[in-house]
Amino acid sequence: MVAVQRIAAFSHDGMGGNPAGVVLLDAELETAEMARVAAEVGFSETAFALERADGTWRVRYFSPESEVPFCGHATIALGAALGERLGEGVYDLVLNDAQIQVAARRDGEAIRAVLSSPPTRSQPASTSELESTLHLFGLGDGDLDPRLPPARIHGGADHLVLALNRRARLGSMSYDLDDGRALMRQHDLVTIMLVVIEDNTTFVARNAFASGGVLEDPATGAAAAAFAGYLRDRQWPHGGRFTIRQGEDMGAPSRITVELTDEPGTPVRVSGYARHMT
């Protein structure tokens, strides 16, 4: 029987955030058992972490339906759990396809965690990706914001991003879960990110996560990292920091802060507060 901590990452003013399961293992666990536990927990992701002899942590992430290579909000939740157990500091994580770090520090009674993402990259969305995604959400070319063309973005996992030109259109996001799952698996996407530009450094987002059997995430750190890399590739003015507001339309307000340099492709820093769920 494994002990599962339930922690909401990227919470705002002690509320909201994206729930994640965190399991700090004492010994190896079979893949099938991790998948079973994640399905039982039912959150969009559960992180399983085992400390290795060299002091690094081997981490795997499971949604209720599949294993994913990287999950930002579950990493923030893991950072909070490690900080509480072992104290403030920086922890080296070994993922399936990358090596990253997460840092934990106390801010009064709260814990703030900061992850350094895998390298980022982006490319224009293909015609097939764009047409099928617009159809899925009932969108047309007239709903898009030309300042940020549709793109396939990566920061540890692949996502598709569509910038919309109206906040109300974002608020009315809906789609069929089964159709979304089929589309995301066809194009090897973890999430589809819909975003509205509030100003140069503030964005409002919603992330469909049908590939993992979840209609929507209230906060998506992996997509935030990939999106920041895309903005950098577009030479978007940023001053070293972006804020992403997410979860508002779900009643789970979340805040994601992303810090980055101007060097293309380099990792970005994604941070937020975490709270234990009762």
177: domain CATH number? 3.10.310.10
Is residue 61 domain-shared with residue 147, that is, in the same domain? Answer: no
Q: What is the mean pLDDT of residues 102-125?
A: 93
Q: Crossing angle, helix 72-86 and helix 221-233, to 10 degrees?
A: 120
Model confidence at 175: pLDDT above 80: yes
Same domain, 263 and 165: yes
199-204, long-range: CB < 8 A, 24+ apart: 200/236, 200/237, 200/238, 201/237, 201/238, 201/239, 201/241, 201/242, 201/243, 202/242, 202/243, 202/244, 202/245, 203/227, 203/242, 203/243, 203/244, 203/245, 204/167, 204/170, 204/244, 204/245, 204/246, 204/248
Q: Are residues 77 and 200 in the same domain?
A: no
Residues 179, 187: contact at Cβ < 8 Å? no
Query: What pLDDT score does 1 carry?
Result: 74
Model confidence pLDDT, tens digit, residues 188-222: 999 999 999 999 999 999 999 999 888 999 999 99
Whether 109 has a pLDDT exceeding 90, the answer reads no
Mean pLDDT computed over 178-191:
96
pLDDT exceeds 80 at position 278? no
Does the pTM surpass 0.85? The reply is yes
- pLDDT, residue 133, reads 98
Q: Are residues 107 and 134 in the same domain?
A: no
Say which range, 114-118, 127-131, 154-158, 274-278, has the weakest mean pLDDT. Answer: 274-278
Within a domain: 275: no
Question: Are 129 and 261 contained in the same domain?
Answer: yes
**Is residue 107 scored above 90 in pLDDT?**
no
d(CA 44, CA 246): 15
pLDDT in tens, 22-81: 999 999 999 999 999 999 999 989 999 999 999 999 999 999 988 999 999 999 999 999
What local confidence, expressed as pLDDT, does residue 5 receive?
97
What value does the mean pLDDT take over residues 228-248?
A: 95
Whole-number mean pLDDT of the chain? Answer: 95
Note whether residue 77 is domain-resident: yes
Distance from C-alpha of 21 to C-alpha of 214, rounded to nearest angstrom: 15
Contacts of 206 (CB under 8 A, 6+ apart): 170, 173, 193, 194, 195, 216, 246, 249
Full residue range of the structural domain in which residue 15 is found = 5-116
pLDDT of residue 197: 98
Using an 8 Å Cβ cutoff, are 242 and 230 in contact?
Answer: no
